[in-house]
């Protein structure tokens, strides 16, 4: 945990920003895998962590703006808990660490909230994404789970985003530590993967680094020779000479701050010429999007810069034809680049995505519904201390090729005949984590090997 003053200040800022009402923040329950006493690795809700820092199950926090009170509701461990889990700090001791001096048994939350409702206090809550939190909300307020999203407080969402999107120095130190371990995970994979191994063996090595650093992974590992499947969690393929290996993996540290990097490297000692051509286009797109960043510059510009490079690159290979401006504007480039260039990052790898992409990434303005652009999670102007990813890629998806060709979609731009030679190519993505600074943007953490020369040098030593 940070020192208590961090959490005290965060709650004060939130109160000042909201002006009235009561903020109800529900911590997570243990999530059982197959029976109650066999839960998944516990992960606290990030909003609860941000304002209270306590990573224990079955707590709720109230920030009562009208009455200037911060309260943590939770039940002390029973002797049965202590027998199985050991002696743990009391709720009161944990609450003191985040500067909360008012703790109450969990059942009193019900009375507190009902009393506030009777007094016509506004109950602010964020959109909930876990079933048990929605049920708790229903029990406390009568709001049905199906309405928990639309009845969430927009004022609270905007107030929290205004705080959490600016990372403080102590948060940036945490994020850089998470990114550094993430780089180690990627370098380990580059030095470990060999023809004949299963993808799962590489996954195990990557996960080992995260566990050995006393944290865990920040999202399920993507480690695949089918990099064209954007969120591929199947790890049963045997990797072989000539394949491209795509790793998208991140570390979540003890404070729950995340890293999120992607790498693509040849399974052989070197890239083939065909692979090198596409790889270098993705690198060019990567640096074009970084060069487009700046204080007050919409992240959409970074995406457009990447889309333009992909369009130009594909045109130079004869896979696209026609005017590049039109290819970018119409969305025809999305045959190759179907996702967005990046997202905010912090306590969550897609930071604050649970509040709604439109608020976090678009400042409340509507998103495009066009294929490709609709997957852009971040488009708004960025400011110093905003932390985010840059991750343009190129993906050859046979089903998409067949669908669009069958529909005759973008046939004025896409050379479908030539594209057939890339059906089995796979996909390439690199990803780095950055922060806006007063002079532009800075890559966080240590450098990840990314050029063709750097990757081939590692691969030549490895196999």
Return left, alpha or beta for 381; rule: phi > 0 is left, psi -120 to 50 is alpha, else beta: beta
For ligand GLY, the binding residues in 248-287 under the rule CB under 6 A are 248, 260
- Selection from Mn ion, ligand GLY, none that 45 binds (CB < 5 to 8 A by kind) is none
**Of residues 116 and 179, the one with the C-beta less far from ligand GLY:** 179
- Cβ atoms within 10 Å, residue 219: 16
Q: Are 320 and 333 in contact (CB under 8 A)?
A: yes
- Least distance from ligand GLY to the Cβ atom of residue 229, Å: 12
**Of residues 25 and 349, the one with the C-beta less far from ligand GLY:** 349
Cα 112 from chain centre: 34
For Mn ion, the binding residues in 150-209 under the rule CB under 5 A are none
Distance CA 345, CA 364 (A): 19
- Least distance from ligand GLY to the Cβ atom of residue 380, Å: 18
C-alpha atoms less than 13 angstroms from C-alpha of 147 in its C-beta half-sphere:
7
**Of residues 306 and 349, the one with the C-beta less far from ligand GLY:** 349
All residues at 6 or more sequence positions from 122 whose CB lies less than 8 Å from its CB, including other chains:
20, 21, 22, 153
- Least distance from ligand GLY to the Cβ atom of residue 376, Å: 12
CA dihedral 398, 400, 401, 403 (to 10 degrees): 120
**Of residues 29 and 260, the one with the C-beta less far from ligand GLY:** 260
Strand ranges inside 250-317, DSSP E: 251-252, 261-266
All residues at 6 or more sequence positions from 222 whose CB lies less than 8 Å from its CB, including other chains:
231, 232, 233, 246, 247, 248, 249, 262
- Least distance from ligand GLY to the Cβ atom of residue 131, Å: 23
- Selection from ligand GLY, Mn ion, none that 375 binds (CB < 5 to 8 A by kind) is none
Distance CA 132, CA 31 (A): 9
Distance CA 380, CA 198 (A): 41
**Of residues 59 and 334, the one with the C-beta less far from ligand GLY:** 334
357 near Mn ion, rule: CB under 5 A: no
Q: How many residues sit in the footprint of Mn ion (CB under 5 A)?
A: 2
For ligand GLY, the binding residues in 101-160 under the rule CB under 6 A are none
- Least distance from ligand GLY to the Cβ atom of residue 260, Å: 5
- Selection from ligand GLY, Mn ion, none that 64 binds (CB < 5 to 8 A by kind) is none
Q: How many residues sit in the footprint of ligand GLY (CB under 6 A)?
A: 4
219 near ligand GLY, rule: CB under 6 A: yes
Q: Provide the β-strand partners of residue 244.
A: 266
- Selection from Mn ion, ligand GLY, none that 219 binds (CB < 5 to 8 A by kind) is ligand GLY
Closest CA to 230 of 449, 433, 428: 428
C-alpha atoms less than 13 angstroms from C-alpha of 180 in its C-beta half-sphere:
9
**Of residues 275 and 389, the one with the C-beta less far from Mn ion:** 389
- Selection from Mn ion, ligand GLY, none that 312 binds (CB < 5 to 8 A by kind) is none
**Of residues 140 and 258, the one with the C-beta less far from ligand GLY:** 258
Task: Find the part of the chain contacting Mn ion (CB under 5 A) among 31-39, 63-71, 137-145, 386-394.
Answer: 386-394
Distance CA 231, CA 98 (A): 37
H or E stretch covering 249: strand 244-249
SS3 193: coil
The alpha carbons of the chain give a radius of gyration, in whole angstroms, of 24
**Of residues 389 and 430, the one with the C-beta less far from Mn ion:** 389
Going by the DSSP 8-state scheme, the letter that residue 153 receives in this structure is -
165 near ligand GLY, rule: CB under 6 A: no
- Least distance from Mn ion to the Cβ atom of residue 197, Å: 25
All residues at 6 or more sequence positions from 70 whose CB lies less than 8 Å from its CB, including other chains:
11, 61, 62, 63, 64, 99, 100, 102
Q: x/- binding map, residues 168-207, to ligand GLY, per CB under 6 A?
A: ----------------------------------------
For ligand GLY, the binding residues in 315-354 under the rule CB under 6 A are 349
Among 260, 348, 351, 432, binds Mn ion (CB under 5 A): 260
H or E stretch covering 408: none
**Of residues 28 and 377, the one with the C-beta less far from ligand GLY:** 377
**Of residues 248 and 456, the one with the C-beta less far from ligand GLY:** 248
Site residues for ligand GLY per CB under 6 A = 219, 248, 260, 349
Binding residues vs Mn ion (CB under 5 A):
260, 389
């Amino acid at each position: 945990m940070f020192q208590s003053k961090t959490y005290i200040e965060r709650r004060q800022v939130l109160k000042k920003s909201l002006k009235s009402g009561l903020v109800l923040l529900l911590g997570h329950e243990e999530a059982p895998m197959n029976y109650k006493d066999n839960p998944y690795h516990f992960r606290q809700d990030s909003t609860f962590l941000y304002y209270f820092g306590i990573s224990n199950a079955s707590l709720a926090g109230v920030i009562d703006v009208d009455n200037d009170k911060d309260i943590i509701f939770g039940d002390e461990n029973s002797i049965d808990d202590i027998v199985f889990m050991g002696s743990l700090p009391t709720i009161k001791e944990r609450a003191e660490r985040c500067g909360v001096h008012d703790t109450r048994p969990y059942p009193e939350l019900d009375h507190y909230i009902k009393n506030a409702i009777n007094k016509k206090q506004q109950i602010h809550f964020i959109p909930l994404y876990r079933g048990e939190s929605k049920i708790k909300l229903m029990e406390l307020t009568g709001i049905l789970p199906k309405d928990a999203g639309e009845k969430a407080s927009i004022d609270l969402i905007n107030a929290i985003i205004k705080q959490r999107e600016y990372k403080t120095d102590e948060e940036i130190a945490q994020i850089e530590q998470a990114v550094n371990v993430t780089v180690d995970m990627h370098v380990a994979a580059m030095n470990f993967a060999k023809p004949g191994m299963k993808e799962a063996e590489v996954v195990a090595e990557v996960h080992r680094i995260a566990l050995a650093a006393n944290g865990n992974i920040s999202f399920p590992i993507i480690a695949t020779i089918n990099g064209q499947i954007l969120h591929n969690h199947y790890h049963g393929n045997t990797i072989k000479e000539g394949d491209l290996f795509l790793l998208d993996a991140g570390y979540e540290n003890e404070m729950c701050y995340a890293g999120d990097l992607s790498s693509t490297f040849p399974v052989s000692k070197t890239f083939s010429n065909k692979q090198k051509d596409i790889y270098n286009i993705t690198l060019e797109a990567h640096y074009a999007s970084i060069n487009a960043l700046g204080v007050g510059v919409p992240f959409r510009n970074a995406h457009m810069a990447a889309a333009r490079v992909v369009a130009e690159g594909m045109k130079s290979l004869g896979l696209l034809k026609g005017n590049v401006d039109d290819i970018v504007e119409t969305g025809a480039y999305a045959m190759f680049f179907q996702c967005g260039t990046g997202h905010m990052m912090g306590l969550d790898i897609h930071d604050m995505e649970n509040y709604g992409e439109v608020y976090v990434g678009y400042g409340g303005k509507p998103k495009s519904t066009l294929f490709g652009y609709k997957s852009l999670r971040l488009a708004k102007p960025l400011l110093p201390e905003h932390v985010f990813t840059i991750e343009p890629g190129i993906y050859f998806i046979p089903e998409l090729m067949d669908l669009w060709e069958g529909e005759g979609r973008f046939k004025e731009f896409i050379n479908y005949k030539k594209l057939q030679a890339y059906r089995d190519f796979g996909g390439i993505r690199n990803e780095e984590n950055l922060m806006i600074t007063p002079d532009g943007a800075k890559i966080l953490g240590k450098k990840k090997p990314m050029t063709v020369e750097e990757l081939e040098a590692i691969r030549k030593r490895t196999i």
